Amino acid sequence: MPRSTAIRRLTGIALAATAVTGLTLTTAGTASAATHKNGNVESGEFGLYYNSNYAGCVFDLLNEDGNFADNRFISSTSSQTCPGQGQITNDNTASYWNRDVTAWDVYTDAGRKGIHGYVPLNYYGNASATYKNEISSSYPF
């Protein structure tokens, strides 16, 4: 194979590798754009709302939380208050929104105990009678 053909092929491979690396870094940067527990349900998060119909303050998660007893609902802005602000999240959730890329498991007791529920990705709704004001822990599936 002539030298110029080999150089062109190697250059093409190097450019393709650089493009793939850049795409990977760009994708990773986008996924980490969500801010955990800031009162705003962003893409990539699982959010629990104090009131039904996605109203009131929010508890938003990027990662599992095995015990909601030490968490509180917060407002998405420091200048505004919302129903439930400062209330403990444990056994206090009326609706939810799963904006994560995976399903989430919820439990009525801490540490994956109690009644188990499943929230599919991109699902939002009011908690059923079994889970309304009963959710105590959650884990990405």
- For the chain, the domains span 1-32, 46-140
Distance CA 34, CA 2 (A): 51
Q: Which residues of the chain have pLDDT under 70?
A: 1-33
Closest CA to 108 of 128, 66, 141, 137: 137
What pTM was estimated for this model as a whole? 0.74
Report helix, strand and coil shares of the chain as percent, to nearest 5.
25, 30, 50
Q: pLDDT for 89-104, tens place per residue?
A: 999 999 999 999 999 9
Q: What is the CATH number of domain 46-140?
A: 2.60.20.10
Instruction: Order across the sheet with 95-98: list the strands.
Output: 55-61, 46-51, 95-98, 124-126
